[in-house]
């Protein structure tokens, strides 16, 4: 499992440095060679909103558009898990405005460097980026965040229940989690896992039932599926059917 985390850091560090994601984790019609903006538009991001943020923050990774469903309000505090180069952090910052605050968490140094540069270049004063492992101890105080978003990142964790418990800890009472992720019709055993495929959000995928069970075990209520989309137009990946979901839950 430690090898998987090192592979993830290596993979996403390379994406940060090169800007070439090869549409990692993308469902639908995305193909290698598509631009990052084309890739994220396919999964629901708004073209005009994308034009309002630093273009270097758009890397074309992800499997949905949780921010589209998060209903962010002015003045809210938002946390983005696996914030990458900052696309959802900057979009969130525009929505919560100067009276709000957005924190991005990532474990890849290259991504954090890129995100912080993007924030500086874009003159964003209501965002910050912190290094952290979302399964262990997210560097955010308990009960301080209104909304937690994440785009195809919980899938990369080894212990998803632990990650959701950390999310639950950080949220204020009444707070909400809105995330995109991939689920499968058949899980793999540890002896079947390929670290490279795990990095592409495939081998670490749980069934929908197991994924939702992990959310509920962490303490969440009102778990609902807001959107779902077939991955790779419904074709099987390594013998398994993959689906992209947007899930909402509350504390």
pLDDT tens column, 22-48: 545 554 455 555 677 777 887 889 999
Which percentage of the chain shows pLDDT scores above 90? Answer: 62
Global pTM? 0.90
Q: How confident is the model at residue 4 (pLDDT cuts 50, 70, 90)?
A: confident
Q: Is 33 exposed, middle or buried (0-12, 13-18, 19+ CB in 10 A)?
A: exposed
Q: How many structural domains compose the chain?
A: 1
Q: Average model confidence (pLDDT) for the chain?
A: 87
Domain span at residue 185 reads 2-250
pLDDT digits (tens, 9 = 90+) for 172-213: 999 999 999 999 998 877 667 666 666 666 778 899 999 999
pLDDT at position 22 is: 54
Q: What is the CATH number of the domain that holds 201?
A: 3.40.50.150
- Within 10 A of 219 (CB to CB), how many other CB atoms are there? 14
Task: Give CA 7 to chain center in angstroms.
Answer: 17
| 187: DSSP letter | P
- Is residue 117 a contact partner of residue 129, using CB atoms and an 8 Å limit? no
> For residues 205 and 152, what is the distance between their CA atoms, to the nearest angstrom?
10
Q: Are strands 127-131 and 145-151 parallel, antiparallel or unpaired?
A: unpaired
- Show the tokens assigned to 238: 């390594």
- H-state helical runs in the chain: 2-18, 36-42, 47-51, 87-96, 109-121, 160-170, 195-199, 208-217
């Amino acid at each position: 499992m430690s090898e998987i985390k090192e592979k993830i850091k290596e993979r996403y560090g390379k994406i940060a440095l090169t800007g070439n994601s090869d549409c990692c984790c993308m469902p639908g019609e995305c193909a290698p060679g598509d631009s990052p903006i084309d890739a994220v538009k396919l999964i629901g991001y708004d073209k005009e909103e994308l034009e309002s943020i630093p273009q270097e923050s758009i890397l074309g990774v992800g499997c949905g558009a949780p921010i589209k469903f998060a209903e962010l309000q002015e003045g809210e505090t938002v946390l983005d898990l696996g914030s990458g180069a900052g696309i959802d952090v900057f979009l969130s910052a525009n929505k919560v405005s100067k009276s709000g605050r957005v924190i991005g968490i990532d474990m890849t140094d290259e991504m954090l460097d890129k995100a912080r540069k993007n924030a500086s270049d874009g003159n964003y004063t209501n965002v910050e980026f912190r290094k952290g492992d979302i399964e262990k101890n997210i560097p955010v105080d308990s009960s301080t965040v209104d909304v937690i978003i994440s785009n195809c990142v919980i899938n990369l964790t080894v212990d998803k229940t632990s990650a959701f418990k950390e999310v639950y800890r950080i949220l204020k009472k009444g707070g909400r989690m809105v995330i995109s992720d991939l689920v499968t019709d058949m899980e793999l055993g540890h002896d079947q896992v390929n670290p490279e495929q795990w990095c592409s959000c495939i081998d670490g995928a749980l069934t929908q039932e197991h994924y939702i069970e992990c959310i509920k075990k962490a303490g969440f209520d009102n778990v609902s599926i807001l959107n779902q989309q077939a991955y790779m137009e419904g074709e099987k990946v390594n013998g398994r059917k993959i689906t992209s979901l947007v899930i909402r839950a509350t504390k």
